[in-house]
């Protein structure tokens, strides 16, 4: 039956994490994560610093290999791929870094053009049109010649998002996309996340601490704690869970002794850094 076939295609996971485990020294960061990311949905991953959110993202794009478990993308196991094979997979995955990660010495156009030069054989005119289309998608026009330092924080995030989508990926990963933005500009990023799903059918995975953003963009919320999935459902479903750890996080309450407060990782030099910084 055509309808049943369409439903099956619709609900098959684009990304599947199976028993994912990762440790750094004695610190267990991912402890048997199982997760299916469904197509054309926005999955928001919540949790305190150090719970493994961004470490999970790094496994999805092959920047880290699991100690145990599997990563699947579009029905193909990818955690066993070599770097050349991973490069092919990454063409279908866009990544918006937490602070944008634009090249300060390059113009907006050059920043967005960079992945096109690296990964395609497009002509210069084809690249120019693709850059303009990406900027149009993020509601910026005619700023190709500007430098990142001439832009506001919200504009820089939009340019970084334009770069993330210029290869027309099927999946876009966002690491704290509203960090450092005021509420109005944060909402602008939220609207773009919704727009990409609505108009381009993009599958979004958003790591955030911003509960306002999570409530607005999420089709589904996954909450991590101590490397495990603590809650999984719509925002309203998760908000109704009686587990005090879930409620403390959603209400922004710190409780002394509660294991919501995860210690930061330390490297051997003594420098302390949040475990979920990408």
Is residue 160 located within the same domain as residue 185? no
- Indicate the residue among 168, 185, 204 that finishes a domain: 168
Domain match, 54 and 191 both: yes
- Looking at the domain assignment, is residue 278 inside a domain? no
Q: How many CB atoms lie within 10 A of CB 45?
A: 28
* Angle in degrees, 0-180, between the axes of helices 153-165 and 108-119, rounded to the nearest 10: 20
Pair (10, 70) in one structural domain: yes
The pLDDT of residue 249: 84
108 and 229 fall within a common domain: no
Tell me: do 174 and 149 sit in the same domain: no
In a domain, 140, yes or no: yes
User: What is the reported pLDDT for 132?
Assistant: 93
- Determine, yes or no, domain membership for 65: yes
- 147, 200: one domain: no
What are the strands, taking DSSP E only, across the chain?
A: 15-24, 27-37, 42-46, 68-73, 76-77, 93-96, 171-175, 203-207, 220-225, 228-233, 265-266, 272-273
Q: Do 81 and 197 fall into the same domain?
A: yes
- pLDDT given at position 60: 94
Instruction: Identify whether 21 is part of a domain.
Output: yes
pLDDT the model gives residue 1:
39
141 and 85 in one domain? no
Q: What is the pTM of this model?
A: 0.81
Query: What pLDDT is attached to residue 99?
Result: 64
CATH number of the domain residue 65 falls in: 3.40.50.300
Q: What is the largest CA-CA distance in the chain?
A: 61
Specify if 97 maps to a domain.
Answer: no
pLDDT tens sequence for the chain (278 residues): 344 333 334 458 899 999 999 999 888 899 999 999 999 999 999 988 777 888 999 999 999 999 999 999 999 999 999 988 998 898 899 988 766 688 788 899 999 999 899 888 889 999 999 999 999 888 888 888 989 888 888 888 889 999 999 999 999 999 888 888 888 888 988 998 999 999 889 999 999 888 999 999 999 999 998 889 999 999 999 999 888 888 888 887 655 555 443 334 444 334 443 333 33
pLDDT at 267: 43
Question: Does 229 lie in the same domain as 107?
Answer: no
> Which is nearest to 111 in space by CA: 156, 44, 173, 56?
156
Tell me if 12 is assigned to some domain.
yes
Say yes or no: 26 and 109 in one domain.
no
- For residues 161 and 181, state if they share a domain: no
- pLDDT at residue 12, rounded to an integer: 83
Q: Structural domain tally of the chain?
A: 2
Q: Which residues on neighbouring strands pair with residue 231, listed in sequence order?
A: 223
Domain edge (last residue) among 168, 192, 215: 168
Residue at a domain's end among 128, 147, 168: 168
pLDDT at 191: 92
| Domain ranges, residue 222 | 2-92+169-273
Based on the domain organization, do 13 and 88 belong to the same domain? yes
Q: What is the pLDDT of residue 141?
A: 86
């Amino acid at each position: 039956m055509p309808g049943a076939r369409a439903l099956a295609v619709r609900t098959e996971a684009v990304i599947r994490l199976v028993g994912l485990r990762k440790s750094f020294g004695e610190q267990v960061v991912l402890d048997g994560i199982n997760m299916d990311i469904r197509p054309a949905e926005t999955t928001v991953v919540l949790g305190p610093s150090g719970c493994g959110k961004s470490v999970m993202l790094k496994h999805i794009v092959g920047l880290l290999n699991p100690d145990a478990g599997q990563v699947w993308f579009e029905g193909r196991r990818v955690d066993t791929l070599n770097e050349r094979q991973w490069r092919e997979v990454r063409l279908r995955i866009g990544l918006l870094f937490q602070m944008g990660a634009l090249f300060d010495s390059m113009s907006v156009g050059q920043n967005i053009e960079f992945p096109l030069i690296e990964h395609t054989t497009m002509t210069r005119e084809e690249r120019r049109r693709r850059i303009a289309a990406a900027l149009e998608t993020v509601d910026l026009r005619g700023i190709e010649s500007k430098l990142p330092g001439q832009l506001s924080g919200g504009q820089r995030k939009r340019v970084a998002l334009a770069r993330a989508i210029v290869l027309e990926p099927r999946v876009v990963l966002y690491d704290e996309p509203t960090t450092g933005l005021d509420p109005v500009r944060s909402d602008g990023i939220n609207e773009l996340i919704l727009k990409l799903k609505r108009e381009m059918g993009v599958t979004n995975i958003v790591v955030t601490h911003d509960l306002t953003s999570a409530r607005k963009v999420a089709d589904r919320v996954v909450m991590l704690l101590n490397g495990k999935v603590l809650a999984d459902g719509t925002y309203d479903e998760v908000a109704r869970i009686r587990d005090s750890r879930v409620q403390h996080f959603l209400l922004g309450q710190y409780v002394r002794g509660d294991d919501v407060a995860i210690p930061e990782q330390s490297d051997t030099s003594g420098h302390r850094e949040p475990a979920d910084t990408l």
